[in-house]
Amino acid sequence: MTAELWSQFLTQTAFPVIEAIALIAVNVLIVYLAKKFRIEGILKHRESMEKITLDAISYAEEKAEEFVKIRGQDNEGRNRLNSADKMNLAISRVMDSIPRISREDARNYIENMIGQVEGVGSTGKTAIKKSGG
């Protein structure tokens, strides 16, 4: 093969094939990175929502304890702040932290997380164990 034929082969055949393969590889890499960062973004959002929700549940429980300390207990030894009141406090706390969330979504997040908090709920025990711990 002469230099002229070699040059013609490279410019007309090899380089276009290499360029096409490189463009495909770059596209695959971009798609992979986009998916990876989106998933990380979703995970960060979820962790943030869990933290805000757990904070709201703890806040409501603390306010209920303060209420008992200030007003005492009823005749049956229970505090006067019922579960609906505590739920409303927690919902308000979530909505204050995330203004764009609906009341219903805030309630759903709280109801889903309440089983992971010890000392909260009807039994006061942790109903759902966190994985990895």
Mean pLDDT of 1-7: 79
- Whether pLDDT at 76 is above 70: no
| Chain segment 110-131, per-residue pLDDT in tens | 988 887 776 665 545 444 444 4
Alpha-carbon span 16 to 49, nearest angstrom: 49
Q: What is the pTM of this model?
A: 0.60
Mean pLDDT of 80-107: 91
| Chain segment 11-52, per-residue pLDDT in tens | 888 888 888 888 888 888 888 887 888 777 877 888 899 999
